[in-house]
Amino acid sequence: MHPFISREIVYRLQESLMRRPTFAYAAELERSQWLSRPELEQLQTVKLKTLLKIALEHSPWHAQRIRAAGLELGENAPFGLEDLRRLPTMNKQDAANNRESLVWRGIPGGVFRYNTGGSSGQPLIFYFGRQRQAADAAARIRARRWWGVEFGEPEVFLWGSPVELNRTDKIKNFRDRLLNQLVLNAFEMSVANMDDYIEQIQSFDPVCMYGYASSLALLAARVRDRGIKLRLPRLKLVCTTGEPLFPHQREIIAEHFGVPVANEFGSRDVGLNAHESPAGQMLLTSESVVMEALDSEGKPVAPGEIGEAVMTGLCSQAQPFIRYRTGDMVRYAEEFCRQGRGLHVVGEVIGRSTDFIVRADGTVMHALAIIYVLRAVPGVAEFKCLQHDVGNMEIWVVQGPAWEEGMREQIVQGIKARLGDTVRVEVKSVEHIPAEASGKHRYVVSHVPLPAGLSVAS
């Protein structure tokens, strides 16, 4: 499909039918990124006040906290970004336990149920509206343009989802092709599959590639081990997501795909938070989120220090995420965009680590292949998966209020469906899941070495 037709006809038609203001918001972002920092923060203030008014009217749980904080949201009441700190923070457990008193089901355009990926170890069911969907897509369109990539140009996605694991969705595949998108399954990365992916990618000749950082690094390691030089004359950029991008992963991806690598920082519950620019800075989507970096006592960290990313989603009207503790660690930066934008700068995303899972037949699977099993069980509050060898998987589960004993077998069968019937799966109930000795949280840990030559990707 010609990129112009894909972008200006197919995609616009899809967004119109879905009642998502994606293109209007993308146009707004193109203009607002060049506002000065004070002007941009004034825009954030206006959006924040609007969000709080919506929460006050439609989200009883937030309304109680807003009133308790004594926030005045009247037309002429003085209000600034600093007033946000008068509210207490919220976490995943708050969002899970109070969902029905958070969601605004009558929001224009409707609400849509979604799950987080569970890579934080705490799966979350939440709701979002059309504006949130549009905001994420528009932010990604803008970020691609920083690198000279237009939406509608051929793009490869190294991704995974339950649909792709279970069956081929012909309608979705047809839509992807109309949008010039090729989706490859990151959950099924055997050596044979990776060799097939390499051929498909070269045949597709993308302008951009997008996927999990570790999966793209794994594919690059396979390219290196085969000793081939990829034929990708149109490729401009590889975008990584879903986990920290380590320097050695950036190096191997850039070397073997022959283009720059840009990382993005986001989450399903809050949205696309930030994206790397050609100047090497992680720029916040300041028009859509307000980010705070807080220490363990909930106080702002100093520039250069590491703190927890606490996000307020300015487009999360359907189920507001206000001062939401993400569990992601960031290094706070007090600097400006080197290319003149007013957007805030995230110094570094520390993030969390996950591992690959190796099946008995040698297939390498992204950790989310296992995480999807756990997140689908409503009684699981927290989890940790340990692969001791290809035949043994141990699952630690902190049971939530909805836990029923039959869910243990549901987990076992779900894991076996991914790893094979011969694997031994032990589900252990625990009261608490501690962090690693390093202080980092790893929710999928595998002690199985990757096939020869591929370990550089992890």
Question: What is the predicted pLDDT for the residue at 76?
Answer: 85
Question: What is the predicted pLDDT for the residue at 422?
Answer: 94
Identify each DSSP E strand in 314-431 by its residue range: 324-332, 345-349, 357-358, 364-365, 380-389, 392-399, 424-429
Question: What is the predicted pLDDT for the residue at 439?
Answer: 42
Residue 157 DSSP code: E
Q: Are 443 and 371 in contact (CB under 8 A)?
A: yes
Half-sphere exposure of 126 (CA within 13 A, CB side): 27
Annotate 83-143 with DSSP letters as a single string. Answer: GGGGSPPB-HHHHHHTGGGT--TT-TT--EEEE---TTS---EEEE-HHHHHHHHHHHHHH
Give me 220's structure tokens.
């690059």
Give me 357's structure tokens.
């899972």
Among 122, 116, 127, 114, residue whose Cα is nearest residue 58: 127
Average pLDDT in the chain: 89
Surface-to-core class of residue 378, CB atoms within 10 Å of its CB (0-12 exposed, 13-18 middle, 19+ buried): middle
Over range 370-395, report the average pLDDT.
Answer: 90
Q: Are 149 and 159 in contact (CB under 8 A)?
A: no
Beta bridge partner(s), residue 429: 397
In the chain, helix, strand, coil percent, each to 5? Answer: 35, 25, 40
Give the pLDDT confidence of 397-421 residue by residue, as tens digits: 999 889 999 999 999 999 999 999 9
β-pairing, 271-276 vs 282-284, is: antiparallel
Share of the chain above pLDDT 90, in %: 61
Give the pLDDT confidence of 137-150 residue by residue, as tens digits: 999 999 999 999 99
Q: In the chain, what are the domains?
A: 357-457 (3.30.300.30)
